[in-house]
Structures are given as structure tokens and as C-alpha cells.
Structure 1
Amino acid sequence: MALANKAIDDIGMTRFQWKLFFLNGFGYAVDSLLVVNQSIANPAVKREYGQPDKHISGIPLASQVGLLVGAGLWGFTADIIGRKLAFNTSLYSCAIFVLIAGAMPNYISFATLVALYSAGAGGNYILDATNFLEFLPTSHHWLVTFMAVWWAVGYMITGFFAWGFMSNFSCSPKATSESCHRADNMGWRYLHFTSGALVIVLAFIRVFAIKMVQTPRWLVSQNRDEELIQILDDLARKHGRSHSLTLEELSGQGTVAHTEKSVWSSFRLKKHVTGLFQTKKLAWSTTLILSNWFVIGMVSPLYSVFLPFYLQSRGAEFGDGSNYQTWRDYAINHVVGILGPIIAAVLVETQYIGRRGTLAIGAATTMALQFGYTQITNEAGNVGLSSAISAASNIYYGTIYAYTPEILPSAHRATGYGLCVVVNRIGGILGVLVGSYANVETTAPLFVCAALFGLLIILSLLLPFESRGKRAQ
């Protein structure tokens, strides 16, 4: 692995990796776009169809279940069959189900389609971050953190879609299932049709703009030395670069243990999990990173489920509470959120701060702002502070998305990341249940979110590995 990493460093940053930054970024953008789609549609669908269970918020719950299944499917299989298949197919599956979701005639059928398109999106950023990292030279690892800007771009695009569609084609916030009819409530449908069309375009661009190959580090773990050398030689030749690694030098290191067994053998499947806990320090690191993902899993849906309702109720208190004001504020919120990954990309490469310090700073800033948000008394403060929260929380999210694959061993990286996201979705399901039983028009969920970000400060500082300036293995 060290020899392969050195060869990648010798070749350096090429047009191929810059293409990956944009094309893999599409996966990040689609993941956030689809998660937010169901959140935006939820109040409107609930007004039109009613909610089958008065306590359980079925649409966000369906999204979290789908995301959990997707994380398991894409994450756990990528270490077995490689990264290429998921890269080429995941966006298409998302697009099809999103388009169908916009035509659903009732609450249950819509929630079912939300689960299906969420399953398609569920492993996107696992594979996108892993693919990108495993082609990057050490000098450009910070780009994995910066790639989270695409996550924020997905939020921003959906925010503008919501502003346009939900403002003009939605029932009144005070409408009920008796008074809210399909013809008056087409906004959430237009949102899904437009998003689905966009995802199809991105899928075509991604597949046809680049010929994706298996990543060098995955090939090392599979003992496929000849393919690895071929890929490195092709990359170097195409971009006028060079490297010194030869097949003889690589083969001279011996063979990777147990690769003679089937990739589907129980031994190798089990090894992908046990390999994440192979030493005491690695086991501590894996446990802590799983804990971080579980906690942010609770925070994210809890915040996103209640934010549209809360903005609407606060808008009624500070302004007119109209659909226009609610979704304008929502769009502004996510435009400002783009600043988070940009700040994170600078902080992660700053001496004495690094990845762990950036995680703690993002969590601490978000916690302070969320506690402050409960004291807002006017419309400008409402929009300003909620936007600042989006930017601050994206500092944390952008860093954790990049730090996780950096500290996981290559042979088990997708499995480890998939496990993190599965744990994250379990936390998300719990977060939805908390949000379902809480009053989403009060500050109670906000206090819970702030307290959980306080816990994330501690969990971030306890992480044993600092990956700044070091090669991902």
C-alpha cells in the first residue's frame, strides 16, 4: 500500500482527479438534495393526504430506513466487488424513483417511494469519498473535506426549487386534508419531477464524462498487481507524468493473505468487519467514529424535520408566515450553508487544529448558535441565525465526511464507512421518532440538537488519530 501511495504521489494531481472532484461531487449533491426533498415535501403531503399515524412522521422515517438499507448495500459490497459498479449505477436508481414519487396518489405510496429513492442515495457519498480519496496524492487530501461543498450545493439547489415551487403551488399552511386538493398543492410534485430530471442529467454526465476504473488501493488489497500497474501507467502516460513502481517491485512484497479465497467466503466477509478493530488503538478509533456518526444521525433529521415547521411558526410570529416567506428563508439558509465546507477545508490543514480540532470547532459553534437561536425576537435574526447554524454545522459535516475514510484501512474502508452510515441512520430513525413526538413548533427540538452537538465536541477531541499531512492507507 505504501508503494502504491508513493506512485500516486509521484504522478501527482492530474485532470483525472479534478474530474473526479466534480463527478463524485454530484453524488454528494444528489444525496443531500434527495434527503431534503422529502423534508420539504413532508408538510405539504401531510396537509393534502393527512398523516396515517398522528405520532409517527412516516415520510422522514421512510427516508431514514431507505438510507440505512442503501448504506448497507453500497457500503458493504464495495469492498467485495470494488467501487466501480456503484459509481456508475447509483444515480440512475435515484432518478427513476424520484420521478415516480412525484406522481404518488397517497401518503403511504409516497413514503414507500421516498424509502426507495433514499436507498439509491444512501451509499452515494460513501463511494464518492472513497473513490476520490483513493486516487488522490497526499498533498491534496484536503479536497475530500472541500468536496462537502457539493453537499451544501445540493441543499442550495433544493432550497431554490422549494422557494419557486412550494411558494407558488402549495396549499395554505393552515389548510387541512379536507380543504387541500391536488390542483392547489402541486409544488411538492414539481419539486420531485425537477429533481429527478436533474439527477438523470448528472448520471449521464458522470458515466460518459469519465471511464471509471477500480481504485489503486482497492486493487492492492485484492492482490491484483498487474491491473494496478496498468492503471498507474495509463494515468501517468495520459497526463505526461511518471512513477517508478514496477510489477516486479510490487510482487516482491509477497501476496496479500487469503486472496486465494472467494471474495464471498465467510472468512473474507468477516475480515472486512474484524479488520476495523484489529489493534487496540484502531478499535478505539473505530468505536469513537461510530459514536460520532450515531450522534449526528440523531441531530440531522431532528433538525431537518422540524426546521420547515419552525421557520413557518416563527415566520408567523415575526412576519406573515406565508409559504413564500417560509421557503425564501429556507433557500437563504442553505445558500449561506455553502460557507461551512469552505471554512472546514482551510481549518483541516491549519497547524494545531487539523481534522479533530475542526470537528470540535464546528460542533461548538453550532451548539452555541442553536442555544442562541431560541432567543431570537425578529425576522432578520430568525433568518440570520438559522443561516449561521447551517454554515457552522456544515463545518462539522464536511470534516467528518472526509476524516472517516482517511482513518479507515483501505481493504475495509467502504465496509467501515458503510457501518458508520448504518449506525448514523439508526440514530436518524431515533431522531425522527423524537421529532415526531416533540412539538416541532417549539424550541424543544432545538435544545436537544444543541445538547447533542455539545456531546460531539467531546467525541471529536477523544479521537486518537490526526490525519493532517499523513497518507491515507
Structure 2
Amino acid sequence: MDNERLVYTLDEAFTYVGFGKFQVLLLLYAGLGLFPEAMEIMIQSFIGPAIKSEWRLSPTQESLLTTVVFVGLLLGTYSWGYISDNYGSRKGFYGVALVASLTGLVSAFSPNYLSLVTLRGLVGFGLGGGSVFVSWFLEFVPASNRGLWMVVLELFWTLGTIFEASLACIVMPRLNWRWLLALSSLPSFAVLLLHGLVPESPRYLCMAGQTADAHRVLEKVALKNGKKLPSRMLLPDNIARPDNEFSVPEHNPLLSSSAHKTTQFKSGFSPIYSLFSSRLIRTTFLLWVLFFAETFLYYGVILLTSELSVQQSECGSALSLQNARDASLYIEVFITSLAELPGLLISAVLLDRVGRKMSMTILSVLTFIFLIPLVIRQEVTLTTGLLFGARMFVNGSSTVACIYALEVYPTSVRATGSGIANGVGIVGGVICPLVAVALVTGCHQPAAVILLEVLTVLSIVCVLLLPFETRGRELADTL
């Protein structure tokens, strides 16, 4: 008991200082980091047809412009997560912003198709570090209201999609796709310029044995929030609380534990090995399947919205293709993106009240219910309403899944673990258009909807099998 009065942990520190002005500033920076990735995903819908017409590309060449971005995102999720876990989030921010901003701007001046494909792939690689911003912000938020503020952070993704649709609506009819690429790179430049003002994560600093630096960051947080830190000694959570679920074994020497962990998490593939440890292997595989299913569902619902909501009569009519090419596409994408806002609100209300697992289960069940009527062709207005509801709930479920993945992994592998899970989800995003669009345009709407329903059930099963509930749980530092 005497020792407990002499020390405090990082979780206790953030409980003392609360969520205040300091975290709001970090929220804005982390949100700014998510913004360009969402814009990049949306921009593919607008530049592809224009470039195809100007350069007379084949459908395969046009599709490659999108595929190469997803491949870049897939490689970037692990690469930037590894850099963040091993060398700190600030180095990850710098690399992400530098690569994304420069290649994004230069791609606007591409002289030919090959150079454009190469540069767009590099843009995707740079923006694959979105999970680094999310995991960094997570480590500054008190456990008591972590769920709410993580949902608020995810709101920046939706705002990014809405902003890109609005920007395309203004730029494309008046200028051209090169201007849209150039202007869309500006948020990444803003992330780069503000990089020097953001602090390193105290959890990373403690993991690296830099407890004094971590304490200085906490003092800045307390000062900005108008609070005071306890007059005790800061110790990493796993040292101060040896009963922590992810604590180091008791036989590890206390004084050498920080140095030992620093060597361990800086070794080549230790983050990967940790994901397959006896404690995490079940969670890791279930999260991979969950992220694949959720991402496939998310893009599947979006594709169904654009393919089905505009069909007035017969299957596969030319009307859907025409709408995908004219200016109304920008307004349509803008409106459908708004469906995600109530989904985020519902997830914010649920996840701190009923828990992460129950929230994902409820939202997935609602997604399933909204998709059921679409097995049979419905009237256009009803189809649009059902798809809006499905998109609302699948977006909420995906958001909670992202938060859960960040919370369940310890600090030493948080960015890597969540980044790889996102990468597996990206694979689902790549496969989805190939399968879903082929089914819908081939007059197989029931098969497309049934496929989405099967994936919804699969995601529910994965959630129920996940071994940990993370609501209100302190973040762990090591395995």
C-alpha cells in the first residue's frame, strides 16, 4: 500500500488531467491526418473517368488507377505502423505526410499513364499510415470517455469524404483532374507543417525508457487543461501494476525491464511475433476476418447504392453508367456520404454504454435487417432508404471495430496490429468491386445481397468469439 501512494501510472495520470484543451488540439491534428486518406479513397471516383477520356485508357487501365492506391495503402499500413511502434509516432507522422504530400502534388503533373500509376501508388503508401494518427490520439484519452472521443476522431474520415466530393463538384466542371489532385494534396502538407508542434506519446516514451520525457509531456497536458499531476513518481503501467493482463513476467528484473523491452520491440519482427503469441493469436485472426468482412460490406453497400438507386426499371440499364459519368455523381456521392454521420452518432451513444462487442453486434444485426428486403427488387425510393440505413450501421460497426483493435493490442504492437488488421480490410476493399459490381451488372442482385448478408453474419460470429471486452479497460503497454 505504501508503494501505491508513491507512484502513479499513465492511465491514472490521464484520469487526473482529464480530457481538455490539450486533447482537443491533438484531436484536430489526428483528424487532419485521417482527412487525406478519406479524400484519396473518394478521389478515385472522380479522376478515373476524366483521365480515361483524356488519355483514351482501357477499362483495365482505368481500374488500375484505383487498385494501385489500395495496394499502396496495404503496404503502408504495416510499414508506418512498424515505424511508429519502433521509433515513435512523430517519426511516423513525418514520413506519412512527406510521402503523401509530395507524391500527391507531383502526380498532378504526370506526363503519362505509367508515371501517374506509380505516383498514385506512392500516395496510397504514404496515406496508409492513418492508423498511426488514431493509435497516437488514443493514448492521450482517459479510459472513462475513450469510446466517445475515438468516434469523434473517426468523424474526420466522413468529413474528408464529404469535403472531397464538394471539392470535385467545384473543380472538375471548371478546371480538370490535375487541379483536383493538386488541391487534394494540401491537407497532407498541413500535417507536415504542423508536425513539429505535436508531442510524442508518453506511452512510447515510457516504453523506450524515457520516463522523464513522458513526465514532461504529462506536465504540458496538465498545464493546458488547468489541472495538476499527483506529487508522486510516474512509472510505466506494467511496472507499477504487475497484475496487468499484458504485464511482463514477474522474474524480469525491475530495473532492467525498460531496457529489455526497448531492445525487444526494436528487434526486426518482434511486433509480428507478438501478434501470434498465445494471448493474442485468437484475437488477431478474428480481427483479420472481421476487418475483411466489414470493409467488404462497407464498399459493397456503397457500390449497391450507386448501382441500384438509379435504376428505374430493368436490370443493368445504361442509366447507372450514365449517372456515373455526369456531374450529378458529385452531388450523389456527397449526399450518400452524409448517411455515415448518424451511424457515428449511434456508435458514440452505444460503445461506452453497452461495450465494444455488444455495439458491433447490435450495429451488424441492424445492417443485416436493412439488407434483407433488397434480396427482392424494390421501388427506387425504398431501395435508396434501405441502402442508406445499411451504410449508416455498417459504418458505425466498422468504426467500433477500429477502436476495439487499437484498445485490445498493447502499446508495443498497437500501431502494427491495428495497421495489419486495416490492411487485411483493404484486401476486402480491393476484392469487393470485382465481385459485387460483376454480380449487380450481371442482373444477379439477389446473389450480391446474399453475399453481403453472409459477410454480416460472419462479422457477428467473429465479434462474439473475441475474447476481450475493452470498455473502460486500461491500455496495456507490453505483452
- TM-score normalised by the chain length of structure 1: 0.83
Alignment match, 1:172: none
1:101/1:113 contact within 8 Å kept: yes
Alignment match, 1:140: 145
Label 1:113 to 1:303 Cα distance change in 2 as closer, same or farther (>3 A).
farther
Gaps of 5+ in 1: 170-185
Q: 2:134 aligns with which of 129, 135, 139?
A: 129
Q: What is the alpha-carbon distance in structure 2 between the residues aligned to residue 3 and residue 192 of structure 1?
A: 45
* 1:17-28 map, 5 Å: 17-28=23-34
Q: SS where residue 57 of structure 1 aligns?
A: helix
Task: Give the letter aligned to residue 417 of structure 1.
Answer: S
Q: What is the alpha-carbon distance in structure 2 between the residues aligned to residue 249 and residue 191 of structure 1?
A: 49
Confirm whether residue 286 of structure 1 aligns to residue 288 of structure 2.
Answer: no
Task: Give the letter aligned to residue 140 of structure 1.
Answer: N
Q: What is the alpha-carbon distance in structure 1 between the residues aligned to residue 94 and residue 386 of structure 2?
A: 39
Alignment match, 1:392: 393
Question: Deviations 1:143-174 (Å, cap 9, x if unpaired)?
Answer: 112321111111111222333445x36xxxxx
2:10/2:234 contact within 8 Å kept: no
Alignment match, 1:271: 270
Alignment match, 1:207: 195
Alignment match, 1:176: none
Alignment match, 2:107: 101
1:355/1:399 contact within 8 Å kept: yes
Question: Deviations 1:29-87 (Å, cap 9, x if unpaired)?
Answer: 22111111123333443344455574993122101110011112111111110111122
Question: Percent same amino acid at aligned positions?
Answer: 23
Label 1:388 to 1:120 Cα distance change in 2 as closer, same or farther (>3 A).
same
Label 1:326 to 1:347 Cα distance change in 2 as closer, same or farther (>3 A).
same
Displacement of 1:134: 0.7
Task: Give the letter aligned to residue 285 of structure 1.
Answer: T
Displacement of 1:95: 2.6
1:92/1:203 contact within 8 Å kept: yes
Label 1:220 to 1:361 Cα distance change in 2 as closer, same or farther (>3 A).
same
Task: Give the letter aligned to residue 391 of structure 2.
Answer: S
Displacement of 1:393: 1.9
Label 1:255 to 1:140 Cα distance change in 2 as closer, same or farther (>3 A).
farther
Alignment match, 2:86: 80
Confirm whether residue 223 of structure 1 aligns to residue 220 of structure 2.
Answer: no
Question: Deviations 1:78-118 (Å, cap 9, x if unpaired)?
Answer: 11101111224423432332233334354443332221111
* 1:5-16 map, 5 Å: 5-16=11-22
Confirm whether residue 63 of structure 1 aligns to residue 63 of structure 2.
Answer: no
Q: What is the alpha-carbon distance in structure 2 between the residues aligned to residue 330 and residue 277 of structure 1?
A: 40
Displacement of 1:445: 4.5
Confirm whether residue 244 of structure 1 aligns to residue 242 of structure 2.
Answer: no
Label 1:190 to 1:85 Cα distance change in 2 as closer, same or farther (>3 A).
same
Alignment match, 1:233: 219
1:149/1:342 contact within 8 Å kept: no
Q: What is the alpha-carbon distance in structure 2 between the residues aligned to residue 106 and residue 364 of structure 1?
A: 47
Q: What is the alpha-carbon distance in structure 1 between the residues aligned to residue 345 and residue 370 of structure 2?
A: 19
Q: SS where residue 226 of structure 2 aligns?
A: coil
Q: What is the alpha-carbon distance in structure 2 between the residues aligned to residue 66 and residue 359 of structure 1?
A: 28
Displacement of 1:344: 0.6
- TM-score normalised by the chain length of structure 2: 0.82
Q: SS where residue 259 of structure 1 aligns?
A: helix
Displacement of 1:270: 3.4
Alignment match, 2:459: 456
Displacement of 1:385: 3.6
Q: What is the alpha-carbon distance in structure 2 between the residues aligned to residue 311 and residue 49 of structure 1?
A: 30
Alignment match, 1:469: 472
Q: SS where residue 9 of structure 2 aligns?
A: helix
Q: SS where residue 457 of structure 1 aligns?
A: helix
The number of equivalent residue pairs is 448
1:56/1:437 contact within 8 Å kept: no
Displacement of 1:207: 3.2
Q: What is the alpha-carbon distance in structure 1 between the residues aligned to residue 337 and residue 448 of structure 2?
A: 20
2:207/2:262 contact within 8 Å kept: no
2:17/2:227 contact within 8 Å kept: yes
Alignment match, 2:341: 338
2:364/2:393 contact within 8 Å kept: yes
Task: Give the letter aligned to residue 451 of structure 1.
Answer: V
Label 1:451 to 1:88 Cα distance change in 2 as closer, same or farther (>3 A).
same
Gaps of 5+ in 2: 1-6, 241-253
Alignment match, 1:356: 357
Displacement of 1:130: 0.9
Q: What is the alpha-carbon distance in structure 2 between the residues aligned to residue 79 and residue 197 of structure 1?
A: 27
Label 1:197 to 1:72 Cα distance change in 2 as closer, same or farther (>3 A).
same
Label 1:131 to 1:161 Cα distance change in 2 as closer, same or farther (>3 A).
same
Label 1:248 to 1:106 Cα distance change in 2 as closer, same or farther (>3 A).
closer
Q: What is the alpha-carbon distance in structure 2 between the residues aligned to residue 330 and residue 296 of structure 1?
A: 20
Q: SS where residue 472 of structure 1 aligns?
A: coil
Question: Deviations 1:293-338 (Å, cap 9, x if unpaired)?
Answer: 2323444455556765666666965998472333322110002222
Label 1:366 to 1:405 Cα distance change in 2 as closer, same or farther (>3 A).
same
2:9/2:236 contact within 8 Å kept: yes
